[in-house]
Amino acid sequence: MRIAVIGATGNVGTALLRRLRRAAAEREAAGLEPLSVTAVARRAPDITVQPYGGVHWHTLDVGTDDGRLELTAALKGMDAVVHLAWAIQPNRDEAAMYRTNVTGTANALRAAADAGVRQFVCASSVAAYSPADKDSRKDESWPIGGISTSHYSRHKAEQEKLLDRFEADHPDRIVARLRPGLIFQPDAGSEIGRYFLGPLIPKGVLGRIPLPLVPIPAQLIFQAVHADDVADAYWRVVDQRASGAFNIAAEPELTPARVAEVLGARRVLDIPVGLLRALVALSWGIGLQRTDPGWIDMAALAPVLDTRRARTLLGWSAEHSSRDALTAVVDGLRTGNGLQGSPTLYPR
């Protein structure tokens, strides 16, 4: 069984390589066909650091024509490909992000088709969904329209259209997409700090110094999931040759009160979403931090996910609670933890 992972050095890619190592050992113990992994990344990791060893590596830029041709060659003979490559920075240059996110997905689909890969599994997101209230869970039938003021959401919705078109053009191929909530793990702390906060925001005090209150709008209810649990869902989709969309999130949903508890705050100040958005826009505009205001819109408008399909069809369940996942990344932010040898998850 041969699997390729595109975007294998990032948060989810690294977790998936760990899960595939475990799957390979499980298959060997059971006397099943060996599992071989090919990994693709724009920058190569240190292969002496696990889980990057024992993998066939290809370095290429999936957003370019040359990268597509190289990827086609790399995917020859693969049974399945998991496409994870995605850019959220530089968020002041949407054209650069689009090249990786949307053009890169189109290139990966074409490469998989030309290479004869039978299963294509893609990393979508809760962000692909159209706006929804937070009062009820939404399953995979909720419309895919994105949130217009978020580049991340727009790109995810456009990516899903590419997957729909590929399914229509290649009815003989198996196509699956995972739509997770926010994905956290301790090793991602430094990366998330660099991508969303930047060097000017102090991180060492997070969860360490008790706060009198935190200002969070009541509408900011979201879901998180540990990277290892997402990786397990990807493996189950590949192993079971599953198709279609799967919502992936842990319980319980993260309310402002639960976020405040993780941050060590005594109480929550409910402020208007518009005020928080304006503060984020101002601080982003002057370069104080790296989170653009579209992320606030996404947090306020993205639906709360119903994960029954993944639990029923894949037998998937999260081993870590959403609170545990958030706590893990806050600890990583505070300590500067990361993974030495990764070009993206390196420590602070």
Kindly state the helix (H) or strand (E) to which residue 98 belongs, with its residue range.
helix 94-98
- What DSSP line would sit under 252-306, residue for residue? S-B-HHHHHHHHTBS-EE---HHHHHHHHHHHHHTTS-S--THHHHHHHHSPEEP
Q: Please tell me the number of Cα atoms within 13 Å of 280 on its side-chain side.
A: 19
Which candidate, 94, 278, 327, 88, places its Cα nearest to that of 191? 88
Q: pLDDT, tens digit, for every residue of 196-236?
A: 887 766 666 565 666 788 899 999 999 999 999 999 999 99
Kindly state the helix (H) or strand (E) to which residue 226 belongs, with its residue range.
strand 224-226
Find out whether 124 and 146 touch, Cβ atoms under 8 Å: no
At residue 209, the pLDDT reads: 61
Structural domain boundaries of the chain?
2-335
Residues of the chain with pLDDT under 50: none
What pTM value is reported for the model?
0.95
Q: pLDDT, tens digit, for every residue of 250-292?
A: 999 999 999 999 988 888 999 999 999 999 999 999 999 999 9
CATH of domain 2-335: 3.40.50.720
Q: Which two tokens stand for residue 234?
A: 């990807």
